[in-house]
Amino acid sequence: MMDGSTNGGQMPSPMLFQPLAVRGLTLKNRLVVPPMVHYRCDPGHTCGTFHLVHLGRYALGGFGLVFVEATGVEEIGLINEHDLGIWNEAQVESFKPLIAFMKRQGTAIGIQLAHGGRKSSSQTAMQGMGPLTEENLKAGDKIWQPVGPTAEPVAKGWLTPRQLTTEECKAMVGTWAKAARNAVAAGFDTIEIHTAHGYLLASFLSPVSNTRNDEYGGDRAGRMGLPLEIAEAVRREMPASMPLFVRVSSVDGTQKGWNMDDTVVFARELKARGVDVIDCSSGGIAGAATAAQVPRSLGFQVPFAERVRKEADITTMAVGIILEAQQAEAILQNKQADLVAIGRQSQFNPNIAHHWAHDLGINARFEDWSPEFGWWLEKRIRTLEGFATPTGVVTHRGRINQ
């Protein structure tokens, strides 16, 4: 971590806007856009103009790291037919314009590798994130049989998955390794493995969903087997200088499910296999990915990141209803996490990283904005003197005449 950094020799720079080095990658600040599915792939599950515009906004908006949403490692592992994939050459090539743009802006870009498991062939978020309905199928949505650790569905009404054999589990390691190789070839700065929210790897971890009796089931060590083998395989495909993230559901939120003690042990094992950052989310083992059985409030998942950081001695990323600059800064100052992921609030305001810099007293003359925008904003400061702040907040003096 950096300390004692100053802004023009005047005041210590907020931690939120200090660089962070992870392996050979130095992020310009600690603000991250986490993976968020938008179901807008181009034909062939490729990356097109939508993602270039959508994710490019966050580079222009000042974020240090932006993740491409959950991207399928194989076709059967797509959450639905509108998801991105990275199992073939055409898909690899499709990401290159986006990656080039992000790097020109000085923003690092990562990809989340994912497999829907027993939640594959389900609705988009906008449809409800549940099982496909007759109405969905009549409208043309595609359906296929998903796979999972057992033949038990996510919940009543969901598709019954086909149980992966032991040999298919071993082959799955190679599937993820190939996807990682493709991500490296595309030019991504970092990779995240999705082991959260009830998707394939989360369903192997949780005793709620994994009741197998082979080497990939049973006790916690057995249930961690496939995710850990995949983490090892992905790490082997990556340059030594490239960081590896893993997103976890820190708790299932069910009494007999995966819990924080499990997550700490898992994080230690991941660290031993070359994982650099644990991205601490929660829930999703039953029902929709966002239907966590965890009470929600400001920063509700920050304690998960704090405990993993302390007890597994690994870099962590906090996420979950982080709405204000001071709240995000406090997370870092209190050593609860090293990175702060801003999901829905970044959707509300793609320039929020720049705005938070103003809120924390730096970037006063828009010097860190992309010059195409910062030039205009800096020049209007004198225009606003006397009736508004540099950021455009109107100063009301006395009563406004009616």
Residues annotated as part of the active site: 199
In whole angstroms, give the CA distance from residue 397 to residue 394.
Answer: 10
**For residue 388, what are the β-bridge partners?**
394
Residue with tokens 């097109």: 48
Dihedral of the CA atoms 130, 134, 138, 139 (nearest 10)?
-20
In whole angstroms, give the CA distance from residue 69 to residue 72.
Answer: 10
DSSP string, 210-223: ----STTSSSHHHH
Q: What is the DSSP-derived secondary structure letter of residue 77? A: G
Burial class (CB in 10 A: 0-12, 13-18, 19+), 223: buried
E strands, 115-272, where? 147-148, 162-163, 190-195, 244-249
Q: What is the DSSP-derived secondary structure letter of residue 180? A: H
In whole angstroms, give the CA distance from residue 68 to residue 65.
Answer: 10
Tell me the angle at which helices 302-312 and 260-272 cross, rounded to the nearest 10 degrees: 50
**For residue 11, what are the β-bridge partners?**
7
**For residue 21, what are the β-bridge partners?**
26
User: Do residues 125 and 347 lie in contact, with contact meaning Cβ atoms separated by under 8 Å?
Assistant: no
- Residue 202: which of 243, 254, 141 has the closest Cα? 254
In whole angstroms, give the CA distance from residue 233 to residue 359.
Answer: 42
